[in-house]
Structure 1
Amino acid sequence: MAVTQLKRKAKRNQAVAKNRIAEIKRLSLKVDVQRVDVEALKAEFAK
């Protein structure tokens, strides 16, 4: 029995996987906000 290759579906599956990996990399590049000194901010705006 012959095996047919679904080329369009293979391309779509690869594209989905690449986009998923790219999204994960993009999200992991974002830096978390460090602890903020609230009192210093209040003093800065009070000027």
Structure 2
Amino acid sequence: MAVTKLKRKGLRNKLNAKARVTSIKDLLRKPDIRNVDVDAIKASFGEKAEA
């Protein structure tokens, strides 16, 4: 019994996996917003306006 290989389905599966990996990498590349000190940034704007 012959076995046929589904090339287009395999290609789609590989593309979906690659897209998933790249999206996860993009999410990990972005800085975590919780580490930003908002009050310090606001204070620095006030210092620049006064100077």
Q: Which ranges of structure 1 fall in alignment gaps of 5 or more residues? A: none
Determine which of 38, 41, 44 is the counterpart of 1:36: 38
Runs (4+) off by over 6 Å: none
**What stretches of structure 2 of length at least 5 have no aligned partner?**
none
CA RMSD between the two structures = 2.0
Aligned residues: percent identity?
Answer: 45
| Residue 19 of structure 1: how far off its partner (Å) | 0.4
Question: Secondary structure of the residue that 1:37 maps to in structure 2?
Answer: helix
Q: In structure 1, what is the equivalent of residue 19 of structure 2?
A: 19
Match of 2:4 in 1: 4
**CA shift for structure 1 position 32:** 1.1
**How many correspondences in the alignment?**
44
Equivalent position amino acid for 1:28 in 2? L
